[in-house]
Structure 1
Amino acid sequence: MSEVTQALPEFKPLTDVEKGIYKKLEDDIPNLHFLSETLIFQCIRGWETEDNRYDATVENVKRIIAFRQKARCTELLSEPSEDVDFFLEHWGSEIYGEDVHGHYFWLEQVTTIHAPELLGRFDDEHMKDTRSVLMEALEVKKGNAIATSVNTPHKHIYVMDLSGVTFGHFSSSVKRVVKNVIVEMGNLYPESVHKMFFVNAPFVFRAIWGMITPWLHPVTKEKTYILGGGEKLLKEFEAAGIPRASVPKVLGGQAEPISLKSLIEGWRVSGAPVTPPAIKTEVEKEEEGQKEEEVQKEMVEEGEGGKSES
């Protein structure tokens, strides 16, 4: 790992303050480990800029756990579902190469997102639940679903190709789709984006950008870029640490796509490589407590025995 990569906050271990937050979360949220170690780590840093950091973290961790239980996020990757299949047919999503830090390049295109069909089938909440299948697939591909180390590249680069966008793409209903399934996903998968690019952006998009920015957190705004296309775009990518070999051919690079749809279809056969949530039953908790008491009793007895021999 290069010194530049090590300097990124993402790759730094938890500080003493963050370790304290982790311990307190374990005490205050019994089902905390319904989340992966990596996602807990991301939550701890996801709300570090809030005035009341710990309360904001607790509130959002509970919200994320509730969402994941309701949406059955892990099961979405392995269980056949007509809704998921419909969504994947109408929302194209692909990953490509990596940047110099190991972040995957994730591309979605306006022309492969069929908003009218999706809006005809899903309401806002159902859309968000189903959209999470793509996020889960990406997290598994990155290794976050089984990772126990916090020093891995758990972020990705998100790119939206705006080629072909018109004012019609920004009707109130379509904007609702964008808000619910892109912007709000950032709150359910905090600290997951390294950089975000809107590319091949025509004037029409730049004109309505002001309507989108109020949805974005200030930290997200700082790592969001609106770019054109062609050779200048490739140079912008290279400056951001993304080599041409990792950029999609459709954007002028050399990388071939891996569709998230194909990964999900494969996992339905072989099973997604995920670690089940570490949720203890009340019986398991009681048995664990009894074992701890027995160990402590043995330690005391050994200590007393040692004293009598001295």
Structure 2
Amino acid sequence: MGVDDEALTRLKLPLNATLLENKELDEGEEAMMSGDIVPEISNAKNIMDTFDETSRIRIFRGMITNNKGTEKERISEAIATFQRIGEWRLEHPDVMIKGLKGEDVLHEAMNSAVGGFDKYGHLIWGERLGDIVKVVEYPLTPDEAKAVRMKCMEGIRLLQARASKERGPRRYKQVYVIDLAEVSLGTLMTRPKVREMTIAIMGAANAFFPETMWKCFVLNAPFVFRSVWTIISPFIHPVTKEKIKILGGPSKYLPEMEAAGIDLDAIPEIFNGTKPLLTLKDAIASLAPPN
């Protein structure tokens, strides 16, 4: 699974050694973490204890190394990010073993599936966006849907961590695939509650999982999607937006994915790959309960 430099060379892609994901923080970065960031976090000991080493490095990379803005701005964003995520972790210690209202409804609407790995070892996670109206009418509030979504994303994080532990090297990012073939963009544009729910699912939860996206492929995107994109994109971090490719049907997106180091047998079959279907719900169920 993944980490195939020979294939990356053929594809003229950067090699695995160029990725920061497996690199520890250097002396200067650790000094910034311990001197400029952690002291400014409220309840710092308990907050920082919620992060494993990979998450600590990932968030630092996302907010400091790979971020934009002045050093002061990036440090401020790092402090706020550790604070926000740590508080959520303290409030939800049993999120992976506790059932949440509307989980099945949201899973059905999102059609989430887990695939294989790209040539770097990044997990492929795909969704075919369905009827968000059913989520609204269940009913779920945007905050309730956001909680379910965060559980899903925590599951993806743990699946990637498990794969890295079994295989090595460390990877904490994933390839995200979203298929718009079945979504009703008209409903999204004309019904404020549906639009609010979509933003809560697709945008707001991402603030709690920074620096986890390697690439994003938007499939079967109709022309009107550009209007929808203007609604969603303000809720997506600028660095993340640069990783997103908006594409058409299989004749467009499969070559693009192959060129990015993703083999057909790593792509779930619902996206015209050959990887047998494994729903995100079933993949999460395969995780051992957290310690």
Q: Do they superpose with TM above 0.5?
A: yes
- Within 5 A, what are the aligned runs for 1:1-310? 2=5, 4-24=15-35, 25-28=37-40, 29-31=44-46, 32-48=48-64, 49-51=68-70, 52=72, 53-70=74-91, 72=92, 74-111=93-130, 114-120=131-137, 121-143=139-161, 152-165=170-183, 166-170=185-189, 171-267=191-287, 271-272=288-289, 274=290, 276=291
Instruction: Tell me, in whole angstroms, the C-alpha distance in 2 between the residues paired with 1:226 and 1:232.
Output: 10
Match of 1:9, as an amino acid?
Answer: L
Match of 1:41, as an amino acid?
Answer: I
> 1:122-170, CA deviations, whole angstroms, 9 ceiling, x for partnerless residues?
22222211211111211111116996xx951110011110103332233
Q: Displacement, 1:82?
A: 4.5
| Percentage of matched positions with identical amino acids | 28
Instruction: Tell me, in whole angstroms, the C-alpha distance in 2 between the residues paired with 1:118 and 1:142.
Output: 27
> 1:243-296, CA deviations, whole angstroms, 9 ceiling, x for partnerless residues?
1111222322211122121134445xxx42x3x4xxxxxxxxxxxxxxxxxxxx
Q: Displacement, 1:202?
A: 1.2
Match of 1:84, as an amino acid?
Answer: E
Instruction: Tell me, in whole angstroms, the C-alpha distance in 1 between the residues paired with 2:151 and 2:163.
Output: 13
What is the DSSP-based 3-state SS (H/G/I as helix, E as strand, rest coil) of the residue aligned with 2:210?
coil
2:8 matched residue in structure 1: none
User: Alpha carbons of 1:33 and 1:183: their partners in 2 closer, same or farther (altered >3 Å)?
Assistant: same
Match of 1:141, as an amino acid?
Answer: L
> 1:57-76, CA deviations, whole angstroms, 9 ceiling, x for partnerless residues?
11211111122233x1x523
> 1:207-245, CA deviations, whole angstroms, 9 ceiling, x for partnerless residues?
433333333222112111100112232111111111111
What is the DSSP-based 3-state SS (H/G/I as helix, E as strand, rest coil) of the residue aligned with 1:203?
coil
Instruction: Tell me, in whole angstroms, the C-alpha distance in 1 between the residues paired with 2:228 and 2:218.
Output: 13
Q: Displacement, 1:90?
A: 4.2
Runs of 5+ consecutive residues of structure 2 not aligned to the other structure: 6-13
Instruction: Tell me, in whole angstroms, the C-alpha distance in 1 between the residues paired with 2:173 and 2:202.
Output: 15
196-205 or 209-218: bigger deviation: 209-218
TM-score after normalising by structure 2: 0.81
Match of 2:95, as an amino acid?
Answer: L
2:11 matched residue in structure 1: none
Runs of 5+ consecutive residues of structure 1 not aligned to the other structure: 277-310
Match of 2:75, as an amino acid?
Answer: Y
1:13/1:151 contact within 8 Å kept: no
Instruction: Tell me, in whole angstroms, the C-alpha distance in 2 between the residues paired with 1:81 and 1:222.
Output: 33
TM-score after normalising by structure 1: 0.77
Compare CA radii of gyration and give the structure with the larger one: 1
More helix by share: 1
Q: CA RMSD in A?
A: 2.5
User: Alpha carbons of 1:129 and 1:246: their partners in 2 closer, same or farther (altered >3 Å)?
Assistant: same
User: Alpha carbons of 1:144 and 1:41: their partners in 2 closer, same or farther (altered >3 Å)?
Assistant: farther
> 1:9-35, CA deviations, whole angstroms, 9 ceiling, x for partnerless residues?
333332322211333345551111112
What is the total number of aligned residue pairs between the two structures?
265
User: Alpha carbons of 1:231 and 1:212: their partners in 2 closer, same or farther (altered >3 Å)?
Assistant: same
